């Protein structure tokens, strides 16, 4: 009998319909498969891959409905992020139905994509209900990221200007891994690299496995630097600062400093071996590039033009997904290139949805961090805490990178980002009996003994 048909003592399930082989674990695995296949389809930026992402999310939702029906009940677990997500959908519908959108078809298409993200995230929130699933999810992300980083490393060593050495980049770009844009590969790896690093710092790895997982994390993090994404480098550096802050209260032995030292040594060695002078030049160029942008670079000019766009419609914006259609009216420089993004996710959200949409976005993030905060106590000892810290680090990385690029306009990266948000904000799931016993034993060891008590 599948996990979805667990019998409750107070009711008779003998007359229930079959579950069609569906279970919470099966649905969660299917949702993960969608999340992890999307980056392989060039980040799901092509028309066919966007449709595949949306259709897969819809099928997952239908599968969840069938699973609920087979159990004879419709049970929706509440989640703090449901409210801002529904508010955002209502705002976009208002833009589309009332003619606020500058291009209704673009807004409708963008809404369908956001509904796809929402359906994926919803299925994850409704099926992630056991600590064993949390651990499995962390290991899946770890293994997938290792394979992807190794592939990107091979492609970087022997490039031929084509994706997978086969498909040409028709519109140019800086290919790294399965992405045309190296910045978007860095954005994906910013969300995946924290998983092996956090696993290495937790109780879920021991001995040689801890060092192996740290080395995998170093490989994944190293490819962020080897991709030459300066925004990715800065985002990862700040992720490590956040990790050091949340890890400091749990440093009770020499093992964690050793693991982190191994991680840094392997990553630096990898960068020196493969990056060489090219990486050094890229790092040195960060300051000069920043000065150039501030003094009139293209990205800064796009942001400045975008602010004029926002001032023209400050409250409700121009319509979700309409930036590339509206921007030419406000562009202040000549170019033969098509500017389809603001190169700053915050500015683009402000332009397309106005102050109303920007406020919903802030509400969404506040609830995400508030929900995660309650699971940080003793996080190295619990599956809830370990996965939450990894998810939080991934979120922090993208939020930093979004000041310089448009990772959240790439469907594969955006889908994973929103799933990490719902994982971080979710309530704690029951830990296994073994974990609870270990936690109680740990608490007894740390509890001070009364005076006069002998050990």
Same domain, 137 and 175: yes
Q: What is the largest CA-CA distance in the chain?
A: 83
pLDDT along the chain (455 residues), means of 10: 40 44 87 96 94 97 92 86 97 95 96 97 93 92 95 88 87 86 95 94 86 88 88 92 81 58 66 59 52 58 93 96 94 82 94 97 97 90 93 97 94 97 93 55 42 41
Give the end of a domain, one of 333, 352, 373. 373
Same domain, 314 and 192: no
Pairing type for strands 162-163 and 167-168 reads: antiparallel
- Reduced to 3 states (helix: H, G, I; strand: E, B; else coil), residue 368 is helix
Same domain, 146 and 236: yes
Count of domains observed in the chain: 2
Q: Looking at the domain assignment, is residue 166 inside a domain?
A: yes
Q: Looking at the domain assignment, is residue 345 inside a domain?
A: yes
Helix locations, 374-406, DSSP H: 383-401
Phi-psi region of 330 (alpha: psi -120 to 50; beta: other; left: phi over 0): alpha
72: tokens are 């004879």
Same domain, 173 and 116: no
Q: Residue 211: which H helix or E strand, with range?
A: helix 207-226
Q: Looking at the domain assignment, is residue 441 inside a domain?
A: no
- Domain residues for 308? 40-68+82-127+296-373
| Spatial CA neighbour of 383 closest among 187, 134, 217 | 134
Q: Looking at the domain assignment, is residue 198 inside a domain?
A: yes
Question: Would you state the pLDDT for residue 409?
Answer: 96
Same domain, 185 and 105: no
Give the end of a domain, one of 291, 309, 339. 291
The answer to whether 153 and 219 have CB atoms below 8 angstroms apart is yes
Residues 246-274, buried b or exposed e (16+ Cβ, 10 A)?
bbeebeeeebbeebbebbeebbeebbeeb
Same domain, 157 and 252: yes
DSSP string, 174-198: B-BTTBSBHHHHHHHHHHHTHHHHH
Same domain, 52 and 143: no
Question: Would you state the pLDDT for residue 222?
Answer: 87
Same domain, 217 and 147: yes
Question: Would you state the pLDDT for residue 159?
Answer: 86
Same domain, 185 and 211: yes
Q: Looking at the domain assignment, is residue 109 inside a domain?
A: yes
Same domain, 185 and 253: yes
Residues 6 or more apart whose Cβ sits within 8 Å of residue 42: 49, 163, 167, 178, 179, 180
Give the end of a domain, one of 339, 373, 407. 373
DSSP string, 310-362: HHHSTTT-S-TT-HHHHGGGT--S--SS---S-S-HHHHHHHHHHHHHHHHHH
Q: Looking at the domain assignment, is residue 87 inside a domain?
A: yes
Q: Looking at the domain assignment, is residue 429 inside a domain?
A: no
Q: Looking at the domain assignment, is residue 15 inside a domain?
A: no
Same domain, 212 and 273: yes
Same domain, 114 and 147: no
């Amino acid at each position: 009998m599948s996990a979805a048909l667990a019998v409750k003592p107070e009711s008779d399930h003998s007359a229930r319909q079959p579950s069609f082989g569906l279970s919470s674990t099966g649905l969660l695995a299917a949702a993960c498969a969608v999340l992890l296949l999307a980056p392989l389809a060039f980040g799901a930026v092509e028309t066919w891959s966007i449709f595949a992402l949306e259709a897969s999310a819809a099928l997952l939702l239908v599968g969840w409905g069938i699973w609920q029906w087979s159990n004879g009940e419709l049970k929706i677990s509440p989640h703090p992020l449901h409210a801002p997500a529904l508010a955002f959908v209502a705002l976009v519908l208002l833009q589309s139905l009332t003619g606020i959108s500058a291009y209704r078809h673009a807004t409708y298409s963008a809404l369908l994509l956001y509904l796809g993200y929402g359906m994926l995230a919803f299925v994850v929130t409704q099926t992630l209900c056991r600590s064993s699933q949390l651990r499995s999810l962390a290991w899946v992300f770890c293994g997938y990221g290792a394979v992807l980083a190794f592939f990107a490393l091979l492609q970087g060593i022997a490039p031929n200007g084509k994706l997978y050495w086969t498909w040409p980049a028709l519109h140019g770009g800086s290919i790294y891994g399965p992405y045309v844009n190296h910045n978007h590969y860095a954005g994906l790896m910013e969300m995946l690299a924290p998983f092996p690093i956090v696993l290495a710092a937790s109780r879920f790895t021991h001995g040689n496995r801890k060092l192996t997982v740290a080395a995998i994390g170093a490989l994944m993090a190293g490819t962020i630097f080897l991709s030459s994404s300066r925004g990715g480098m800065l985002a990862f550096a700040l992720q490590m600062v956040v990790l050091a802050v949340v890890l400091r209260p749990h440093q009770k032995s020499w093992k964690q400093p050793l693991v982190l030292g191994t991680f840094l040594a392997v990553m630096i060695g990898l960068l020196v071996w493969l990056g060489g002078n090219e990486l050094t030049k890229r790092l040195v160029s960060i300051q000069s590039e920043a000065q150039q942008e501030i003094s009139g670079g293209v990205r800064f000019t796009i942001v400045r033009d975008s602010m004029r766009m926002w001032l023209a419609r400050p409250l409700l914006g121009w319509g979700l997904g309409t930036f590339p259609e509206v921007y030419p009216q406000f562009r202040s420089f000549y170019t033969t290139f098509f500017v389809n993004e603001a190169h700053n996710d915050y500015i683009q959200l402000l332009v397309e949805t106005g102050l109303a949409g920007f406020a919903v976005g802030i509400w969404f993030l506040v609830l995400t961090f508030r929900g995660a905060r309650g699971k940080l106590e003793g996080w190295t000892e619990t599956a809830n805490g370990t996965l939450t810290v990894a998810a939080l680090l991934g979120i922090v990385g993208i939020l930093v990178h979004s000041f310089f690029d448009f990772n959240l306009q790439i469907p594969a990266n955006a889908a994973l980002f929103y799933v990490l948000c719902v994982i971080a904000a979710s309530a704690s799931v029951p830990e296994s009996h073994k974990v609870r016993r270990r936690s109680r034993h740990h608490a007894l060891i740390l509890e001070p003994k009364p005076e006069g008590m002998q050990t």
